[in-house]
Amino acid sequence: MKYKVVIGTLFVDGVKYRRGDIIETDQDLGTRVEPYVEVEEVKPKRKRRTKAEIEADKLLQDLPVIGGSYEDR
């Protein structure tokens, strides 16, 4: 099982680990480590734009701005 070191330094089988290191061991190390679960990163899906959305953006960019900026709309 994987654990994350939560104390300053930890020696396991003659190897020195520092706080935040991830180790894999079957030993019971008590409160000096906490269980570590790997989180799988999920990529955001691409948003598809329709032809109508693209044409609407082009029309808005071509209009002259009167009394403000384009971001104020």
Residue 16 in domain: yes
Model confidence pLDDT, tens digit, residues 13-49: 899 999 999 999 999 999 999 999 988 898 888 888 8
Residue 13 in domain: yes
pLDDT at 22: 93
Residue 53 in domain: no
Residue 10: pLDDT band (50, 70, 90) is: very high
Residue 7 in domain: yes
Residue 59 in domain: no
Under DSSP, the state recorded for 51 is: H
Residue 67 in domain: no
- State the average pLDDT over residues 45-59: 86
Looking at the 3D structure of the chain, how many domains does it have? 1
Q: How far is CA 36 from the centre of its chain?
A: 16
State the CB neighbour count (10 A cutoff) for residue 35: 8
Residue 14 in domain: yes
pLDDT at 36: 92
Total-model pTM? 0.52
Residue 28 in domain: yes
